[in-house]
Amino acid sequence: MDRGPASPQVLRLVMSMVRDGSALCVPGNHDIKLLRHLNGKNVTVNHGLAETLAQLEPEPEAFKSEVRRFLDGLVSHYVLDGGKLVVAHAGLTEEMQGRGSGAVRAFALFGESTGEIDEFGLPVRYEWAREYRGRAMVAFGHTPVPEAEWLNNTIDLDTGCVFGGRLTALRYPERELVAVPAAQVYCEPARPLNYRSRSTTSSADSVVRDPEQSPDSRNTESALQSAQHEQDDLLDIRDVTGKQFIETRLMRGVTIREDNAVAALEVMSSFALHPKWLLYLPPTMSPTETSALPDLLEHPAEAFDYYKRLGVERVVCEEKHMGSRVVVVLGRNEAAIQRRLGLVGEGIGKVYTRTGRNFFTDAALETAFLARLRDALSTAGFWEKFYTDWVCLDAELLPWSAKAQELVKTQYAAVAAAALAALPQVEAALTEAAARQLDGAEALLARTTARHQAAAHYADAYRRYCWPVHSLDDLKLAPFHLLATEGKTYFDRDHAWHMETLRTLALADPSLLRATPYRVVPLTNPAEVEAAIQWWTDLTAAGGEGMVVKPYDFIPQGKGGLLQPALKCRGREYLRIIYGPDYLLPGHLDRLRQRNVKAKRNLALREFALGVEGLERFVAGQPLCRVHQCVFGVLALESEAVDPRL
């Protein structure tokens, strides 16, 4: 309304669309001012109202009455799509959404001002969107801006068409923007359209421009993130402290206890990467239930029985690599990272651990690794195939010793060295004692010999997963989940799809990338189940860690809700690293069979739900505080008192 050359025609168009059910309409402050005039109230005739009244003058009274009834019947705002979208002329805070009062209507029409007047004689608007934490997306206007920008899941669509700017529409739920330029300047603004330029330099102000237009440069929503990136530079500690209740798509809600949040805050503030890198933290994984077979703590039969009992028809068995679990966030170039993550001068990517810490301590090695991985994706045509310029991968980085070198030296190697140095001497002494037929010497010698052999097996077990890393050629990356690219997550794809997609990628650089061996097992076919068990037996007998059994669907649902996303089944010798050299000796295995996996499985489900939720929020363009809430939640849950050996 107002300032345009054909307000009556606009009114006719809008009223007919609303009447036909093809549109909804919320009032603006200009509309309500016109309504007050039509109702005989005294109003100040300014800001284009004079032109509108002049255009309405020759219209029949019936039309004016229809306009009056139409405007009078408009509600202050709409809450749509089950509360996911709110539309109001000047926006609306979360606590006002869905409510009706004079205060709500006033905010929806005029927003909130600071009480100050700027140098142009206009009210200074309070930027409520900077503090918005609501779950609903809010589309609004009222205050003209040079370009529509997302900020905390809100967007101002008033791009000043009347002032010669553009007419902008939001396509929902795609979050795409469509804009057409104004045909002319219909009215000179009292305040320049670009007046709200920020005084500080944002990420977008200093981006590195890619000379070749990437596919995603056509994505208007993603290209307009500078205001959000600037806002995300400072997180609010109140969002992650105290008791938290995080709603997720997969579970009704996940509770984070206050003491766990404190522990996570220490890790995040002291050791983790910049939060903008942390799109996702992978969940912990439960082992199978305890096997009753002799000399075995874990066996695939328990995993197969668990899923079959809960109605899963097919599973995917993947070789378990003994490396470090990592998440890789990689851009096609630095401009992609700046555009999507708002990070300037931090390179093309990061590789980080399950606790959000940078995997690499050698900056040169990190740069070379990321560049080579980027080149492999380019060679494979990945960027074009997935129409993206960034990717998030879940993977294992080998060797284990590349990250755990100090742990190997101080814990595993130290135990093996002490045992292999001391036990032979004990054996020698006990041999002499047994020769002298001292009471109990024979039994003690047998036990010591068994412990000596167990220590040797223990040393062999951890050494299989250690090799020196002198250069990039000594590293191997085994990706097993393609988590996300621009505008999409891949939780809807089955695990076989992930395996095949990443196997194709590995062919682009076999020296760096390792395809994960896997097999699909129909649980209703006894022969296939037995073949999978034999595969695990052969794999672990040859020194392999074991395998991971996953439902065929990435997000498995049963009658009771979410199922375990994966179960690990580790080999007999590998478990020496976890439970110690002597775990198979008489007495020890019986005690370990009493372990309870219930708490571990509950933890795995909650972390899985949070991981999926956080990454989906990021891909949907939600603000960092909403993404970080889930990432932080996973980290907090890691401090729960659950046996770390499970």
pLDDT in tens, 105-164: 999 999 988 778 878 777 778 889 988 989 899 999 998 999 998 999 999 999 999 899
pLDDT average, residue stretch 300-320: 96
CA 380 distance to own-chain centroid: 25
Q: How far apart are CA 337 and CA 339, in angstroms?
A: 5
Model confidence at 223: pLDDT above 70: no
Model confidence at 506: pLDDT above 60: yes
pLDDT value of residue 281:
96
Beta-ladder partners of 150: 155
Q: Residue 85 — pLDDT band, cuts 50, 70, 90?
A: very high
pLDDT value of residue 83:
95
Enter the DSSP assignment of 564. P
Helix, strand, coil % over all residues of the chain, rounded to 5: 45, 15, 40
pLDDT value of residue 354:
93
pLDDT value of residue 218:
36
pLDDT value of residue 415:
85
Is 0.85 topped by the overall pTM?
no
pLDDT average, residue stretch 568-587: 88
Q: What pairing do the DSSP bridges indicate for beta strands 567-570 and 286-287?
A: parallel
Model confidence at 62: pLDDT above 70: yes
pLDDT in tens, 25-41: 999 999 999 889 998 88
Q: Residue 203 — pLDDT band, cuts 50, 70, 90?
A: very low
Model confidence at 520: pLDDT above 90: yes
pLDDT value of residue 641:
87
**Average pLDDT of the chain to the nearest whole number:** 88
pLDDT average, residue stretch 404-425: 79
Beta carbons of 576 and 583 less than 8 angstroms apart: yes
pLDDT value of residue 196:
54
Beta carbons of 549 and 303 less than 8 angstroms apart: yes
Lowest mean pLDDT among 43-52, 212-221, 513-522: 212-221
pLDDT average, residue stretch 615-621: 94
Model confidence at 209: pLDDT above 60: no
pLDDT value of residue 226:
65
pLDDT value of residue 13:
95
Enter the DSSP assignment of 476. E
Q: How far apart are CA 300 and CA 547, in angstroms?
A: 8
Q: Residue 394 — pLDDT band, cuts 50, 70, 90?
A: very high
pLDDT value of residue 199:
37
Q: How far apart are CA 36 and CA 329, in angstroms?
A: 56
Q: How far apart are CA 122 and CA 22, in angstroms?
A: 35
pLDDT in tens, 323-336: 899 999 999 999 99
pLDDT in tens, 420-463: 888 889 888 888 888 888 888 888 888 888 888 888 888 887 77
pLDDT in tens, 229-273: 888 888 888 888 889 999 999 998 899 999 999 988 888 888 889
Model confidence at 42: pLDDT above 70: yes
Q: Give per-residue burial for 461-475: e unless 16+ CB within 10 Å, then b.
A: bbebbbeebeebeeb
Q: Give per-residue burial for 66-102: e unless 16+ CB within 10 Å, then b.
A: bbeebbeebebbbbeeeeebbbbbbbbbeebbeeeee
Closest CA to 632 of 230, 133, 260: 260
Q: DSSP labels for 349-362?
A: EEEEETTSBBS-S-
Q: DSSP labels for 10-59?
A: HHHHHHHHHHTTS------HHHHHHHHHHTT------TTHHHHHHHHTTS
Q: Give per-residue burial for 253-274: e unless 16+ CB within 10 Å, then b.
A: ebebeeebbeebbebbeeebbe
Model confidence at 466: pLDDT above 80: no
Model confidence at 288: pLDDT above 90: yes
Model confidence at 545: pLDDT above 80: yes
Q: Give per-residue burial for 192-230: e unless 16+ CB within 10 Å, then b.
A: eeeeeeeeeebbbeebeebeeebebbebbbbebbbbbbb
Classify the phi-psi angles of 620: left when phi > 0, otherwise alpha if psi is within -120 to 50, otherwise beta.
Answer: alpha
pLDDT value of residue 201:
34
- What is the share, in percent, of the chain residues with pLDDT greater than 70? 94
- Answer with the residue of higher pLDDT: 228 or 342: 342
Model confidence at 204: pLDDT above 70: no
Sign of CA dihedral 242, 247, 250, 251: positive
Amino acid identity, residue 521? V
Model confidence at 400: pLDDT above 80: no
pLDDT average, residue stretch 612-637: 94
> Which residues, 6+ apart, have CB-to-CB distance to 72 below 8 Å?
35
Amino acid identity, residue 432? E
